Amino acid sequence: MDTADMKLTIGHLYPDLLNLYGDRGNIVCMVKRCLWRGIRAETIEFNMGDRVDFSKLDIVLLGGGSDREQKIVCRELRRIRREFQRYIEDNGVVIAVCGGYQLLGRYYRTKDDIIEGLGLLDIYTEQGDGRLIGNIVLDSEWSDVPVVGFENHGGRTYIGGHKPFGRVLYGAGNDGKSGYEGVVYKNVTGTYLHGPLLPKNAQICDHLIKKALERKYGPVQLKKLDDGMEMAANAYICSRFAGRKRATLV
Amino acid sequence: MRWSLRRISAVWAAKITEKISIHIFRRQGAAWAGKIALKICPSILHELAGQVGRGIFAVCGTNGKTTVNNLLCAAIEAEGYRVVCNHTGSNMLNGIASAFAVCAGLDGNLKADYACIEIDEASAGRVIRHFRPDYMVLTNLFRDQLDRYGEIDTAMKILGRVMRQAPEMKVVVNGDEPLSAFLAMDSGNPCITYGIHDPVRACDPFREIREGRFCRRCGTGLDYHFYHYSQLGDYYCPKCGFQRPGLQFNACNIEFGKELTFTVEDKRIHSAHKGFYNIYNILAAYAALRTAGLGGKHFARVAGSYEPENGRMEEFWIGGVRVMLNLAKNPAGFNQNIDVVMQDENIKDLLIVINDNDQDGRDISWLWDVDFERLKRTATGSVMVSGLRCSDMMLRMKYAGIASEIEADVRKAVKRSVREGCGNLYVLVNYTALYDIRNILRNCR
């Protein structure tokens, strides 16, 4: 099937609340990389109170917000938990960043509170001492070149038996100790990487687009794009940071 | 007037350090002078601040601090008073100590009527231990350098605590900005508000990130009668009744013609700097001046002739090329800068310089929160990107649909933009690039 007849619908969940780290860049990146290939791409933003119809969505983006905003979102999301779960089990593509990543798990325990998560994945997060802040470089099987980004999180996420998104080459990752970052379950990717994630990691973006198209249309071959600028921005971070020791604990 | 050998030595040490280091290390020189002064005499800031005769202003907020503070200082001086001011924008504890120490006489005493001190939000708690300001000007709260300052909530907590620790301090606040206004009104401190009551024909509306979407009092989503920009506007909470307060100092009859003009009280203000945010900066300084009981007889003249320095819409002329240099260090500030660029109907070149040193914030993901896409609708000759993160900036422009050239070396980028451009250049830079570029431009002049 010619990709020109294809269309993807991206659902951006609660952009008013979860928009702390340039997540709009992830949306722009997915949309443009579809359009450049002649694939139509539409973004639907869901705000508080909106009904989310997962059956109309091909990619769901859940971004990061401040603790107070995350709490508000979590309350909202729990109402659509079952539909969300069904979407995930049906191989729906999800990219969850930072706070959104934490929300996928069972809970986030802070020093004086426990925020119940959606429990979509059997993972959990606990607040540690200090925040893990800094540039981060990963080795991930979904990209030939290292995945680069910036992390800034107080929570330490424990993914149990799940598959991580990548192995940490520089930076802290999930908990600052395990050497791994993020989680992958079916077509769900949870990660602490913002920066935003996708523009400098074009292969990850294309991987999400491909998975979403294949779920809808069967096997596809994505047209190659000129990624010179994407690769240059990626290579700069790799050469500046990778190979050095871990990010400082703030 | 009291003598203190310790203080005299501290003042002398600060003066000498500043003289030497400001030439070699520029801005950091101010911080070192203060550090040494505080080392020699830990109570120096407390003592010198105590010698300020009539009143101390603390200028806080995410954007506009330096401009408001320097304009306020100039306005008070025009009324015939002596003012201590941290002009350079060195706004953490050491920089503030330095401003006082360097301004003191060789006998270790300070002869000043007022102090205008801009204070970094994160340092406000530390500074307040040394002296209690009589007035705080709170300009606005936006996301800024999340890796350094944390979320806005952190800044709000610190500023709220400072207000409670100085319950008599009058807070002059931007009433159009819900986070600042809430903070000031919630503190119990005496509050004076400024703002723009009516909608203004500003730049075309676009989708900006707005902070504080939820009522800080009850958590309900805020509604707006209209926005000015970002979260500034006429807001109200449909549930608990929290709303924009009445504005004591209101800018009306606003016109963006050849210059920016507006009226506040009985004064018609003219300014060459047309950015919408500039109305707020001027209003903040005026409201502070009036709150201190000063008449502001000369204010219109001062504001009209005020030439911002320190790279805040600073103008340079280099061999017939007009260069406007402006700091743009967070999405709200950058979006306002883009407004200024778009108000200029002439063709212009653009140079954007982005660094990620500690003082800039190492996280530059906010570049994707800036609406660069709007620049497609204005006539640009060329767009060049530079600085440590120039390849990120170039990528951002690619996804905004704007072609750009890259030149990592800042000096070369400036020279090329000046030499090869159309004669009308805007240079938008974040923090650490500002001082280098200012020097490059000054040397070219």
Answer for the pair B274, B202: CB distance below 8 angstroms, yes or no: no
Answer for the pair B3, B108: CB distance below 8 angstroms, yes or no: yes
Chain B residue closest to A195 (CA)?
B365
Instruction: From B257, B276, B305, give the residue that closes a domain.
Output: B305
Is A236's CB within 8 Å of B366's CB? Answer: no
- Within 8 A of A72 by CB-CB distance, chain B residues are 214, 219
A68 reaches B (C-beta below 8 A): yes
Residue B265 lies in a domain: yes
A220 reaches B (C-beta below 8 A): no
Q: Give B261-316 pLDDT, tens digit per residue.
A: 999 999 999 998 878 899 999 999 999 999 999 999 999 999 999 887 777 888 99
| Separation between Cα atoms, residue B324 and residue B441, nearest integer Å | 10
Q: Assess whether B219 and B236 both reside in one domain.
A: yes
CATH code of the domain in which B356 resides: 3.90.190.20
- How much is the average pLDDT of A71-79? 86
Q: Assess whether B373 and B229 both reside in one domain.
A: no
Average pLDDT of chain B to the nearest whole number: 92
Percentage with pLDDT > 70 across chain A: 96
Q: Assess whether B299 and B330 both reside in one domain.
A: no
Answer for the pair A215, A163: CB distance below 8 angstroms, yes or no: no
Interface of B with A (CB under 8 A): 143, 146-147, 151-153, 209-210, 213-214, 219, 221, 362-369, 389, 391-392, 394-396, 398-399
Instruction: From B305, B335, B368, give the residue that closes a domain.
Output: B305
Is A135's CB within 8 Å of B362's CB? Answer: yes
Is B147's CB within 8 Å of A195's CB? Answer: no
Q: Each residue of A72-111: b (16+ CB within 10 Å) or e?
A: bbbebbeebeeebeebbeeebbbbbbbbbbbbbbebbeee
Least confident residue range of A178-187, A241-250, B116-125, B351-360: A241-250
Best B365, B394, B406 member to test A by mutation, with max A CBs in 10 Å, is B365
- How much is the average pLDDT of B235-256? 96
Please report how the helices B178-187 and B152-165 are oriented relative to each other, as an axis angle in degrees rounded to 10.
30
| Residue A249 binned pLDDT confidence (cut-offs 50, 70, 90) | very low
- How much is the average pLDDT of A28-54? 95
Q: Assess whether B241 and B384 both reside in one domain.
A: no
Answer for the pair A190, A101: CB distance below 8 angstroms, yes or no: yes
Residue B38 lies in a domain: no
Residue B149 lies in a domain: yes
Q: Assess whether B369 and B290 both reside in one domain.
A: no
Is B398's CB within 8 Å of A22's CB? Answer: no
pLDDT of residue A70: 82
Is A199's CB within 8 Å of B368's CB? Answer: yes
Percentage with pLDDT > 70 across chain B: 96
Q: Assess whether B251 and B337 both reside in one domain.
A: no
Q: Assess whether B281 and B329 both reside in one domain.
A: no
Chain A residue closest to B219 (CA)?
A72
Best B368, B370, B404, B405 member to test A by mutation, with max A CBs in 10 Å, is B368
pLDDT of residue B152: 86
A50 reaches B (C-beta below 8 A): no
- Domain with B178, as residue range(s), is 55-83+110-305
Q: Assess whether B374 and B289 both reside in one domain.
A: no
Largest CA distance in chain B: 65
SS3 A38: coil
Give the closest-approach CA distance of A20 to chain B in angstroms.
8
Q: Residues with Cβ < 8 Å from B101, sequence gap 6 or more?
A: B10, B11, B14, B15, B33, B34, B37, B44, B48
- Asked if the model's pLDDT at residue A248 lies above 50, the reply is no
Is A134's CB within 8 Å of B362's CB? Answer: yes
Residues in chain A: 250
Give the closest-approach CA distance of A171 to chain B in angstroms.
13
Q: Give B30-42 pLDDT, tens digit per residue.
A: 788 999 999 999 9
pLDDT of residue A45: 94
CATH code of the domain in which B174 resides: 3.40.1190.10
pLDDT of residue B86: 93
pLDDT of residue B25: 65
Give the closest-approach CA distance of B209 to chain A in angstroms.
8
| Residue B134 binned pLDDT confidence (cut-offs 50, 70, 90) | very high
Is A32's CB within 8 Å of B367's CB? Answer: no
- Asked if the model's pLDDT at residue B27 lies above 70, the reply is no
| Residue B28 binned pLDDT confidence (cut-offs 50, 70, 90) | low
- Within 8 A of B398 by CB-CB distance, chain A residues are 229
Residue B40 lies in a domain: no
Give the closest-approach CA distance of A36 to chain B in angstroms.
11
Q: Give B138-191 pLDDT, tens digit per residue.
A: 999 998 877 777 778 889 999 999 999 999 999 999 999 999 999 999 999 999
Q: Assess whether B267 and B370 both reside in one domain.
A: no
Is B369's CB within 8 Å of A22's CB? Answer: yes
| ipTM here | 0.94
- Asked if the model's pLDDT at residue A135 lies above 70, the reply is yes
Is B146's CB within 8 Å of A24's CB? Answer: no
Q: Assess whether B349 and B289 both reside in one domain.
A: no
The overall pTM is greater than 0.90:
no
Instruction: From B305, B335, B355, give the residue that closes a domain.
Output: B305
| Separation between Cα atoms, residue B417 and residue B426, nearest integer Å | 9
Percentage with pLDDT > 90 across chain A: 79
| Separation between Cα atoms, residue B102 and residue B84, nearest integer Å | 9
Q: Give A151-198 pLDDT, tens digit per residue.
A: 999 999 999 999 999 999 999 999 999 999 999 999 999 999 998 999
Tell me whether residue A226 is exposed, middle or buried, using C-beta atoms within 10 angstroms of its C-beta: 0 to 12, 13 to 18, 19 or more.
Answer: exposed
pLDDT of residue B275: 83
- Greatest mean pLDDT among A9-13, A76-80, A192-196, B311-315: A9-13
Residue B408 lies in a domain: yes
pLDDT of residue B343: 87
Chain B residue closest to A193 (CA)?
B365
| Separation between Cα atoms, residue B301 and residue B420, nearest integer Å | 37
- How much is the average pLDDT of B226-242? 94
pLDDT of residue A250: 37
Q: Among partner residues B210, B362, B399, which is closest to A199 by beta-carbon distance? A: B399
Is B399's CB within 8 Å of A25's CB? Answer: yes
- Asked if the model's pLDDT at residue A210 lies above 90, the reply is yes
Q: Assess whether B206 and B286 both reside in one domain.
A: yes
pLDDT of residue B248: 98
Residue B3 lies in a domain: no
Give the closest-approach CA distance of B19 to chain A in angstroms.
34
Residue B440 lies in a domain: yes
pLDDT of residue B125: 94
Q: Among partner residues B147, B151, B394, which is closest to A133 by beta-carbon distance? A: B147
Average pLDDT of chain A to the nearest whole number: 92
Kindly report whether the peptide bond that precedes residue B42 is cis, defined as omega within 30 degrees of 0: no
**Is the alpha carbon torsion for B225, B229, B233, B239 positive or negative?**
positive
Is B153's CB within 8 Å of A67's CB? Answer: yes
| Residue B245 binned pLDDT confidence (cut-offs 50, 70, 90) | very high
Determine which one of B223, B358, B363, B409 is catalytic: B363
Give the closest-approach CA distance of B76 to chain A in angstroms.
39
CA angle at B275 for the pair B272 and B277, rounded to the nearest 5°? 120
Is B219's CB within 8 Å of A19's CB? Answer: no
Phi/psi region, residue B314 (left: phi>0; alpha: psi -120 to 50; beta: rest), is beta
Best A19, A29, A76 member to test B by mutation, with max B CBs in 10 Å, is A19
Least confident residue range of A212-216, B215-219, B404-408: B215-219
- Asked if the model's pLDDT at residue A74 lies above 50, the reply is yes
- Asked if the model's pLDDT at residue B23 lies above 80, the reply is no
Answer for the pair B118, B69: CB distance below 8 angstroms, yes or no: yes
A74 reaches B (C-beta below 8 A): no
- Within 8 A of B364 by CB-CB distance, chain A residues are 150, 195
Provide the domain count of chain B: 2
Percentage with pLDDT > 90 across chain B: 77
What domains appear along chain A, each with residue ranges and CATH number? 3-241 (3.40.50.880)
Q: Assess whether B183 and B295 both reside in one domain.
A: yes
Q: Give B95-125 pLDDT, tens digit per residue.
A: 999 999 999 999 999 999 999 999 999 899 9
